[in-house]
Chain A
Amino acid sequence: MPKANGAGPNGSASDGTQVTFLEAIKQAMFEEMERDPAVILMGEDVGVYGGAFKTSEGLLERFGWERVIDTPISESAIIGAACGMSYCGLRPICEMQFIDFIVCAFNQITNFVAKGHYLWNAPAPMVIRGPSGGGVHGGPFHSANPEMYFVHTPGLKVIYPSTPYDAKGLLKAAVRDNNPVLFFEHKFLYRRIKGEVPAGDYTVPIGKAVVRREGKHLTIISYAAMMHTSLEAADALAKEGIEAEVIDLRTLLPLDEETILNSVKKTNKCLVVHEDTRTGGIAGEIAAILFEKAFHDLDGPLVRVASLDTPVPYAPTLEEHFLPNAKKVFSAAKELARY
């Protein structure tokens, strides 16, 4: 696993300290709760235990029982109650212990939370966050990437960061946003990557992608853990003379079309890499955007490297076969570059 390619949004250096992805998330919650008493945290085992991954460790001691709320195992109740709190001007953060369990609250999120502003002018400023993604042998119910269920839901915003800098800045932006924001934290990154975060307060804008590596021969679009995989593949491609431009989407909804189009108009080829399963993944949406708005700029087919259209299998041999990796990205990119 390579290090995040620079801490800042464009790889710029910062004068902060090196922190893990997980520490960045914890800092964001801590600082937002410190800044605004309307921010509270709610979820299963987030208080006394500090969260299943220790993401909220120390928050209970600092902010007290009223603001760090251990709940029953009731995802619909957590989301519903947070929605009610947001109607009263609070800004609750809900933790899904594993993001796989977010579907237990699917109705509450997609029908109640997401539609309120459109239908009856009721903003629901709340964040739903939790550990997602595979590669850690969590099996079919602790490895999911359910982001696209929600990208298909108008009214939500969906964030899936790849670096500690972005995780902290985007989570702070999510807490301050007046809309319901889903914040996916790839658990493979929690303790495996470190990056610099600035000492002071900062946010990263929601809805803005970033170019992680500049190139001219093709564009690789990715996000979350696969962004690192894509960078690794780009390094290997560079040794063969293929300069890949790597885009980190960071936000999936709203999607930053401008950054995507600018890059593809330059490189004329596009490869999308995501850990989500292939059918119905964000690659399909990106393909549609390119066909609508950059058809004449394309010199080759849009290529997808994604997980298999299966549940996430448990055995390491199976899961490794299921997931994309740098080698698969490398081969697909090399093939695409020949056009």
Chain B
Amino acid sequence: MPVPPEQGMKKELKRQQYLDLYYHMRLNRAVEDMMVKLFRQNKIVGGLYSSLGQEAISVGTAYALEKKDWLAPMIRNIGALLVKGVRPRDIFMQHMAKYDSPTKGKDGTSHFGDLDDLHIVSPISMLGDLIPVMTGVAMAGRYLGQKIVTMTWIGDGGSSTGVFHEGLNFAATQKAPFVLILENNLWAYSTPVRKQVPLENLADRAKAYGIDSYIVDGNDAVAVYSVAKEAVDRARAGEGPILIEAKSFRRMGHAQHDPAEYVPKEMRAYWEARDPIALYERFLSSEKLLDAKSKKEVEDKIDSLLAVEREFAENSPMPPPELAETGVYCTGDGCHKIRAKWERPIAEVTPPRSSVKAVWTVPGFGSGKASDGANAPIHFGDTHAPQHRVGNDTKSANGGKPAAKMAAKAAPKKTVKTAGASRKARR
């Protein structure tokens, strides 16, 4: 059975950061618990997907982003939405198809976004499509001088799509400031990861794109955050896209209707004993960051918040039928004013500055030159090479040893050992 590397939680964050991570993981789980209740009361119109056991990934990765950064969630990333500032009521109402929901009942689940304020792109059900889209957002952000990073998630199953490859390869050729979180939860609906991908570590795929990658224990909130923060910082610094494989387990079925009886009992038991919130609480207690009183405070805060949010959601009406006819097209500036937010001088990208004589030519193949005046190679417009050479190897959470070495070392046991890890005996 594939198991993640254990980094062992380390105390290197600020107190408030630890508590933020905790709060959002608890909120993530509480929101989903409440939706299970709503589902059983037939108040949720369509399917309900669970991220139980994967909260540390959604929360830890999204927490590494800044306000100006962009993210696009997948179906099991409600935690990421909460961290980015989405209100629980919006998530409830999306699932309940209410008129006040972000899509006014036109779509459900986490299929909603917010271009202007929260910088969230809505997913669609077809897996992998967000990868080129978030690459495009990253390229646009760079072009406009915004210094943003974009992030999206994909599952082990979704990593088999063609657009995963097209998107990640394009991001790599463009050195787009983009971080892709590959949540390896071992199951794509009923198909185990081994039947989808003949690789021990899905992070190895990064090598094919010439980009860096990390492997992290997806049930370790601190490790997830630390890795994500490092990746986001590197992407922002211009090192190009980075792939993070977070190893975890999908505790529920594909959706509520699926009892997931195809999952071996031992596998489930192993991962249930590694519940990310329970692990984190133990760590916080040992570090004296959380006690019974402060834990109760968090629970009360969440309870009272969700009571209000749920009431609002339940009181929202269903959309009027004729709404179905509206909104297919943007009708012009009165509907949406399209405006690029420039944070660099426009003169840098407008002629005559970009109207420069070619510095190289290939007979019959036109000519070109970078607009910054540097002698541009054929493959990267104005992207500057990083100061130091970046390897293409997978790294551990702490920027440690390349995975190639780790994998070689650990090959007989088919596990990956990472820097500072204290490995425990496993079945």
Contact = CB atoms under 8 A, between A and B. Distances in A.
A81 B124 contact: no
Contacts of B157: none
A329 to B, nearest CB: 34
B133 interface: yes
A52 to B, nearest CB: 12
Interface in A68-87: 69, 71-72, 74-87
Between A66, A75, A90, the greatest number of chain B beta carbons within 10 A of the residue's beta carbon is seen for A66
Nearest to B354: A64
Contacts of A80: 129, 131-133, 135-136, 163, 166-167
Contact of A120 (B122, B340, B365): B122
B147 to A, nearest CB: 13
Interface stretch (B233-241, B370-378, B392-400): B370-378
Given A72-B166, A76-B167, A84-B132, A123 B122 contact: no
A203 interface: no
Interface stretch (B31-39, B105-113, B273-281): B105-113
Interface residues of A, number: 58
Contacts of A121: 103, 327, 336
A309 interface: no
Interface stretch (A110-118, A166-174, A295-303): A110-118
Interface in B329-373: 329-333, 335-336, 338-341, 346, 349-351, 354-358, 362, 365-371
B309 interface: no
Most chain B beta-carbon neighbours within 10 Å: one of A64, A72, A125: A64
A87 B132 contact: no
B336 to A, nearest CB: 5
User: Which has the most chain A C-beta neighbours within 10 Å: B124, B126, B134, B366?
Assistant: B366
21 contacts: A37-B340, A40-B143, A66-B354, A72-B166, A72-B173, A76-B166, A77-B132, A77-B167, A81-B167, A82-B136, A84-B134, A84-B138, A87-B136, A88-B140, A90-B144, A111-B125, A112-B129, A118-B327, A120-B102, A120-B106, A178-B338
Interface of B: 102-103, 106-107, 111-113, 115, 121-122, 124-126, 129, 131-141, 143-144, 150, 162-163, 166-167, 169-170, 173-174, 327-333, 335-336, 338-341, 346, 349-351, 354-358, 362, 365-371, 376, 378, 380-382
Given A66-B371, A83-B136, 12 more contacts: A48-B362, A61-B357, A63-B354, A76-B129, A77-B166, A84-B138, A88-B140, A111-B124, A111-B126, A111-B129, A115-B124, A123-B335
